[in-house]
């Protein structure tokens, strides 16, 4: 294990995507499928978040996605929306997410850490009230700089901005890259070959494949046309691929692991936290991760 | 920047730094498809002819331009003219957009239409247009609005639409839009999202503006016919801003003062829906525009007595018209709007929608300072029948 945690600073650009490359390379050369759990910062409370982060890492998480709650999450299903609402009511903010990142970075110096959320709360960390003559995409670049600096300091490797498609992303990607942070793009089964090619050209870190057409949420089965979708993307890029949306069980991880080196698990984990007894969230998260990473069999987890 | 090639968004999707396409990846191809369909329709004489015929024979266009002599006399200044969208089928300007987008959905072979609605006017207009063409229609409506507007829910049901109450958030318009977008993300291949105002990601603000511009084009010709020139000022209420942009757009290159009136609710220091006058730039529902938000960038709840103005965002083109100072944006409180509604009812025998009453109330502020040979054009966006219960209760509460 090489420790890249101290590489940050003025030359952070040189290490853009380094932790992702390292983790994905290990998985692709015969290691286990990477499992990246998604945890909403501040859910169920801001106080519990760092301990849940540590539990996920103990359970076998190869890295983490830390979600910044938003009042109007248009790409999320009811599970995450409820979690965001509860987190915001409990006082969660961007700081809660950055605290969570710091906790994760301390426990896992090499784990790729991704901040995920919607554009508006990310913009709010900067000055958004200045009149601008830029086009919309350019106008959302510079206001992200304060966030990028804070995120880099906390140990963030990449950011997923759900409502920032590639068309509007050039300025944001450049601002993030200046701080050593990869802008992680999403592709969906509806993405055209032209869009896939454009994303492939601009992507660093990894590309997040949305496994199905829909909002976030656990499903019984992984979408049937996923294999074909992976093939269409794979034909155009060598950037590492991860899959998310609808993955909830060990069996799903095994299935998608045959096609891509990493799986992202969101709503199922949020459900696990929501249904755990008040003092049992930490144990529930650790155990759930043990099961989906294959460290513990599903039968013994009941 | 080389992304212009992806979709050509750069040429048409931005109003200065506002607008754009801040949408989830899953929707981006659908937005492209919509843009292509719209561009093709624009140059297709068959589409234009079909739309024009429907606007004439079904919607009842053109709508009249009415001089308001007793209102003008009461205010003692400028002559006031009313562009009567309240006389369009279903009683508001919303039908102009609904009919146009249903025709567009048919061109795209989308058999299913979804819409959001606040008070229910856009929902009724969409249900109406879908009924006219036998298209499946699902309307998302905040559960709180469903309760407040039970009669409009019944109207939509009569028209064959399914109304889905939305229980998330404050259970009003913003939440209904969130839910409609989620439905669209899930069913994008078969579904057209018929958005009701000049908001959302490109190409929606442009499409809705073009479909509503019949208001301004007609009013322009009618003013010239009546007084031989254009008005000195045009005033319209602004929630999302579709009727205002429809009135303003054909006048934007002319020497006409353009005034958009937002809802100040209980006052700009209390609960309100005055996004341009009391908000700040941000990104909501796929577009960069002015929004109501807290320091953390969370969207805050809007408030207005008028459900149609009760939205914490605004059409991006209005944000641009404000930044370039081509249009002025002002606000009117709930109380002032009630006064405006009473004023027009008593002087002209026209009960305006509460939304429209905001424009009346602001006209009542500026007209007295103008001379009698000056002219104000007001976009009378809708009729007030839908609001009489709310108005009765509000007037009783404040003592008349």
For chain A (302 residues), the mean pLDDT of every run of 10, in chain order, is 40 73 94 96 97 98 98 92 96 97 97 98 82 85 95 98 96 97 95 94 96 76 83 93 92 93 96 94 97 84 48
Query: B21 vs A128: CB contact, 8 Å cut-off?
Result: no
Is B24 near chain A, with CB under 8 Å?
yes
* CB-based contact A163 B286, cutoff 8 Å: yes
Give the nearest partner residue to A140 out of B283, B291, B299, using CB atoms. B283
Q: What is the pLDDT of residue A9?
A: 43
Residue B377: what pLDDT?
98
- The 10 Å Cβ neighbour count of residue B287 is 32
Token pair 């100040």 is found at B264
CB within 8 Å: A163 and B23: yes
The CA distance from B134 to B136, in Å, is 7
Interchain proximity B26–A163, CB inside 8 Å:
no
pLDDT of residue A302: 44
Contacts of B178 in chain A (CB under 8 A): 72-74
A65 is catalytic: yes
pLDDT tens track for B319-371: 999 999 999 999 999 999 999 999 999 999 999 999 999 999 999 999 999 99
Please calculate the CA angle B79-B388-B212 and round it to the nearest 5 degrees.
Answer: 55
Please list the residues that pair with B289 across neighbouring strands. Answer: B282
The bridge status of strand B257-265 relative to strand B327-333 is parallel
Nearest neighbour of B29 by CB, restricted to A88, A170, A191: A191
Cα–Cα dist A253/B33, whole Å: 34
| C-alpha span between B150 and B225 (Å, rounded) | 42
pLDDT value at position A127? Answer: 73
ipTM: 0.93
Cβ-based neighbour number of residue A127 at 10 Å? 13
Contacts of B14 in chain A (CB under 8 A): 135-136
Q: β-strands B280-284, B287-291: how paired?
A: antiparallel
**Residue of B9, B24, B33, B324 to mutate, testing the A interface (most A Cβ within 10 Å of its Cβ):** B24
- Catalytic site residue from A32, A48, A51, A65: A65
Please report which residue ranges of A90-223 form alpha helices under DSSP H.
94-107, 119-123, 136-139, 145-154, 170-178, 193-202
Place of tokens 């309307």: B139
- What residues in A contact B281, CB-CB < 8 Å? 128-129, 132, 139
Q: Is A72 in Cβ contact with B169 (below 8 Å)?
A: yes
**Could A71 and B26 be called an inter-chain contact, meaning their C-beta atoms sit closer than 8 Å?**
no
Longest CA span, chain A: 60
Candidate from B1, B6, B187 with C-beta closest to A195:
B6
pLDDT in tens, B12-37: 689 999 999 999 999 999 999 999 99
Residues 6+ apart with CB under 8 A from A83: A40, A43, A44, A69, A270, A273, A274
- Taking contacts as CB-CB distances below 8 angstroms, the residues of chain A near B26 are 75, 188-190, 210, 213-214
Which residue among A7, A51, A76, A110 is the active-site one? A76
CB atoms within 10 A of CB A153: 14
B169 touches chain A (CB under 8 A): yes
Which residue, among A86, A132, A165, would best test binding to B if mutated, counting the most B CBs under 10 Å from its CB?
Answer: A165
Residues of A in contact with B174 (CB under 8 A): 72
Residues of chain B found within 8 Å of residue A86, distances taken between Cβ atoms: none
- Residue B126 pLDDT exceeds 70: yes
- Given a cut of 70, whether residue B6 has pLDDT beyond it is no
Q: Which residue of B has its CA nearest to A82?
A: B168
Task: Determine how many CB atoms are found less than 10 A away from the CB of residue B174.
Answer: 28
The tens digit of pLDDT for each residue in B219-270 reads 999 999 999 999 999 999 999 999 999 999 999 999 999 999 999 999 999 9
Distance from CA of A295 to the nearest CA of B (A): 34
pLDDT of residue A128: 63
How far is it, in rounded angstroms, from Cα B71 to Cα B337? 15
Q: What is the pLDDT at residue A129?
A: 64
Reply yes or no on whether B381 is catalytic. yes
Q: Which residue in chain A has the smallest CA separation from B26?
A: A188
Q: Which residue does chain A place closest to B9, by CA atoms?
A: A167
The full length of chain A comes to 302
Residue B255: burial class (beta carbons within 10 Å; 0-12, 13-18, 19+): exposed
**Buried b / exposed e along A164-179 (16+ C-beta atoms within 10 A):** bbbbbbbbbbebbbbb
CA B242 to chain A, closest CA, distance in angstroms equals 21
């Amino acid at each position: 294990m090489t420790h890249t945690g101290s590489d940050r600073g003025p030359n952070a650009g040189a290490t853009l995507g380094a932790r992702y490359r390292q983790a994905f390379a290990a998985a692709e050369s015969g290691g286990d499928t990477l499992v990246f759990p998604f945890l909403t910062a501040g859910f169920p409370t801001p106080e519990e978040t760092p301990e849940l982060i540590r539990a996920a890492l103990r359970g076998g998480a190869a890295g983490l996605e830390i979600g910044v709650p938003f009042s109007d999450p248009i790409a999320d299903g009811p599970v995450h929306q409820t979690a965001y609402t509860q987190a915001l009511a409990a006082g969660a903010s961007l700081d809660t997410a950055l605290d969570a990142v710091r906790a994760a970075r301390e426990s896992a110096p090499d784990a790729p850490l991704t901040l995920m959320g919607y554009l508006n709360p990310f913009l709010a960390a900067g000055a958004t009230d200045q009149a601008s003559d830029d086009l919309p995409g350019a106008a959302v670049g510079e206001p992200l700089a304060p966030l990028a600096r804070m995120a880099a300091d906390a140990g963030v490797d990449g950011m997923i901005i759900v409502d920032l498609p590639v068309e509007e992303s050039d300025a944001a990607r450049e601002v993030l890259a200046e701080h050593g942070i990869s802008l992680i793009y999403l592709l969906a089964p509806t993405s055209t070959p032209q869009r896939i090619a454009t994303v492939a050209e601009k992507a660093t870190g990894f590309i997040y494949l949305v496994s199905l057409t829909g909002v976030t949420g656990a499903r019984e089965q992984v979408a049937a046309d996923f294999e074909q979708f992976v093939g269409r993307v794979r034909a155009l890029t060598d950037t590492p691929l991860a899959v998310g949306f609808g993955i909830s069980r060990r069996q799903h991880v095994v299935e998608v692991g045959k096609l891509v080196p990493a799986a992202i698990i969101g709503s199922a984990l949020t459900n696990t936290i929501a249904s755990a007894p008040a003092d049992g969230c930490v144990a529930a998260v650790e155990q759930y991760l043990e099961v989906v990473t294959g460290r513990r069999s599903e039968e013994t987890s009941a | 920047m080389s992304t212009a090639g992806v979709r050509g968004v750069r040429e048409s999707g931005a109003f200065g730094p506002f607008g754009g396409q801040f949408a989830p990846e899953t929707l981006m191809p659908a937005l492209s498809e919509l843009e292509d369909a719209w561009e093709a329709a624009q140059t297709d004489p068959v589409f234009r002819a079909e739309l024009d015929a429907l606007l004439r024979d079904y919607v009842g266009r053109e709508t009249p331009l009415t001089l308001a002599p007793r209102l003008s006399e009461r205010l003692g200044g400028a002559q006031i003219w009313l562009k009567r969208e309240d006389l369009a089928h279903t009683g508001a300007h919303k039908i102009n957009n609904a009919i146009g987008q249903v025709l567009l959905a048919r061109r795209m072979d989308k058999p299913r239409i979804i819409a959001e609605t606040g008070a229910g006017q856009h929902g009724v207009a969409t249900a109406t247009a879908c009924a006219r063409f036998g298209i499946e229609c699902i309307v998302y409506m905040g559960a709180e609005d469903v309760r407040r507007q039970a009669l409009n829910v019944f109207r939509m049901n009569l028209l064959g639409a399914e109304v889905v109450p939305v229980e998330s958030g404050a259970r009003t318009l913003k939440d209904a839009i969130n839910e409609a977008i989620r439905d669209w993300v899930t069913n994008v291949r078969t579904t057209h999202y018929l958005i009701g105002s000049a908001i959302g990601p490109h190409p929606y603000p442009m499409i809705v503006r073009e479909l509503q511009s019949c208001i301004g084009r007609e009013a322009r010709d009618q003013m010239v016919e009546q007084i031989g020139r254009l008005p000195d000022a045009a005033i319209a209420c602004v929630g999302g801003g579709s009727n205002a942009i429809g009135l303003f757009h054909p006048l934007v290159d002319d020497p006409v003062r353009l005034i958009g009136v937002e809802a100040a609710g209980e006052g700009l220091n209390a609960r309100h829906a005055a996004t341009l006058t009391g908000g700040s730039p941000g990104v909501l529902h796929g577009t960069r525009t002015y929004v109501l938000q807290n320091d953390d960038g969370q969207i805050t709840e809007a408030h207005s007595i008028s459900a149609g103005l009760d939205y914490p965002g605004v059409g991006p083109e209005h944000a641009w018209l404000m930044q370039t100072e081509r249009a002025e944006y002002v606000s009117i409180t709930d109380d002032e709007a009630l006064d405006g509604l009473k004023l027009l009812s008593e002087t002209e025998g026209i009960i305006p929608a509460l939304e429209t009453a905001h424009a009346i109330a602001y006209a009542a502020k500026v007209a007295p300072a103008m001379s009698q040979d000056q002219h104000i054009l007001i976009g009378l966006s809708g009729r007030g029948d839908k609001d009489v219960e709310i108005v009765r209760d509000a007037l009783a509460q404040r003592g008349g």
